């Protein structure tokens, strides 16, 4: 197989470090790996495939001979440097929100809309972490029963807000005043119904992302409303999902479809206390679903509990899976 020159932008962040790890785990065909970050990361080295690779400062000339760029350094950096990488000949897979709503940029979850990858014009967007795990479960059910409406409430790990958020939680749990606060309130022993900024209609940007990204990925105008909540968990997003279908369905049919769905693991045996949890999704790439039960308030409704590792499947692994499909041409 052809080997590729790959750059990871934001290589020293939570997601960037995991991208490097996943590239090695999945034996992605790397010829040369370039690790890029801000000036404050200069002098650091990262291990990859038994080698120590120095971190370089990101700059306009960083993408010479780079063929694939995995970006996870925030929207501002992506807006500035992704076009430069494309001009240099790279295909960019961007984990920020910079290009997700751009109609000319495919928004990809390989289990859901893999073929859209090849419509790219140099940039492919990686969806929001909470959206990724949701659509992996919704798509096979929509194909069979046609979704009418979705109500989703999330329970999102502090890792989704970066290292500063993890540091704040750990400091508060140790009764130490955090050196820097990521959240406007205490997160230890607390829940914050506030992820990203609020809009005038009372929804947050995170909720807006979930609603609009789901429609774009699934190429349908599903009615979806969301409430996103930050919880004091390190690693793993959970979602309570209520789905109303156009067609009649049974719990058994839903379970059978999800058992066959790519990237999904059904964990649903209440008598044995078996159900998805963030702690058991840690370091896994699958999306876990359980607590599958009827919603008797509507003619055809189902309740689901969906969990995934937000740093892996919700970000790094999904990006590497996109790159894999890209280089394989399928």
3-state DSSP call for residue 165? helix
69, 195: one domain: no
Please give the mean pLDDT across all residues of the chain: 96
Q: Is the pLDDT of residue 146 over 90?
A: yes
45, 169: one domain: no
Both tokens of 62, joined, read 């960083």
269-310 confidence digits (pLDDT tens): 999 999 999 999 999 999 999 999 999 999 999 999 999 999
Q: Is the pLDDT of residue 32 over 90?
A: yes
155, 28: one domain: no
User: What pLDDT shows up at residue 43?
Assistant: 86
122-150 mean pLDDT:
98
Name the residue range of residue 43's domain: 4-127+315-328
117, 73: one domain: yes
Phi then psi dihedrals of residue 288, to 5 deg: -105, 140
User: What pLDDT shows up at residue 284?
Assistant: 96
CATH of the domain at 164: 3.30.360.10
What's the number of domains the chain is made of? Answer: 2
163, 201: one domain: yes
170, 272: one domain: yes
Q: Is the pLDDT of residue 117 over 80?
A: yes
Reading across the β-sheet that carries 264-266, which strands appear in turn? 223-230, 147-156, 237-245, 301-308, 287-294, 264-266
144, 167: one domain: yes
Q: Is the pLDDT of residue 330 over 80?
A: no
255, 224: one domain: yes
Catalytic residue numbers, as ranges: 129, 237
119, 136: one domain: no
66, 135: one domain: no
181-187, long-range: CB within 8 Å, 24+ apart, which pairs?
182/158, 183/230, 187/158, 187/230, 187/232
Q: Is the pLDDT of residue 180 over 90?
A: no
Phi then psi dihedrals of residue 29, to 5 deg: -75, 80
300, 322: one domain: no
CATH of the domain at 116: 3.40.50.720
Reading across the β-sheet that carries 68-71, which strands appear in turn? 45-48, 51-57, 30-37, 4-9, 68-71, 91-94, 123-125
User: What pLDDT shows up at residue 99?
Assistant: 97
Task: Round to whole Å and give the CA distance between 14 and 200.
Answer: 31
270, 185: one domain: yes
209-235 mean pLDDT:
96
Q: What is the pTM assigned to this prediction?
A: 0.96
DSSP code at position 315: I
Residue with tokens 């606060």: 181
Task: Round to whole Å and give the CA distance between 9 and 81.
Answer: 9
């Amino acid at each position: 197989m052809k080997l590729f020159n790959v750059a990871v932008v934001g290589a020293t962040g939570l997601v960037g470090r995991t991208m490097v790890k996943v590239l090695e785990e999945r034996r992605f065909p790397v010829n040369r790996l370039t690790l890029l970050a801000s000036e404050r990361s200069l002098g650091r080295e990262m291990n990859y495939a038994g080698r120590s690779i120095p971190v370089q400062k990101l700059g306009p000339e960083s993408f010479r001979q780079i063929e694939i760029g995995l970006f996870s350094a925030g929207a501002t950096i992506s807006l500035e440097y992704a076009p430069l990488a494309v001009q240099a000949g790279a295909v960019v897979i961007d984990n920020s929100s910079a290009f997700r709503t751009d109609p000319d940029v495919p928004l990809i979850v390989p289990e859901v809309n893999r073929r859209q990858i090849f419509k790219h014009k140099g940039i492919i967007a990686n969806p929001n972490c909470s959206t990724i795990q949701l659509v992996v479960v919704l798509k096979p059910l929509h194909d069979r029963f046609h979704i009418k409406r979705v109500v989703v409430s999330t329970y999102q790990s502090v890792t989704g807000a970066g290292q500063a958020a993890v540091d704040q939680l750990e400091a508060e749990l140790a009764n130490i005043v955090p050196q820097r606060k990521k959240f406007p309130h205490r997160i230890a022993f607390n829940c914050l119904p506030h992820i990203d900024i609020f809009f005038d209609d009372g929804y947050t940007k995170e909720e807006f992302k979930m609603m609009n990204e789901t429609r774009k990925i699934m190429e349908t105008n599903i009615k979806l409303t969301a409430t996103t909540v930050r919880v004091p968990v390190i690693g793993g997003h959970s979602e309570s999902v209520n789905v109303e279908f156009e067609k009649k369905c049974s719990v058994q049919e839903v379970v059978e479809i999800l058992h066959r769905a790519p990237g999904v693991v059904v964990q649903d045996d209440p008598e044995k206390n078996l159900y998805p949890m963030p702690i058991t999704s840690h370091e896994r790439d699958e999306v876990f679903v359980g607590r599958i039960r009827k919603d008797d308030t509507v003619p055809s409704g189902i309740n689901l509990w969906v969990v995934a590792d937000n740093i892996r499947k919700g970000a790094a692994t999904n990006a590497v899976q996109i790159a894999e499909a890209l280089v394989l041409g399928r």
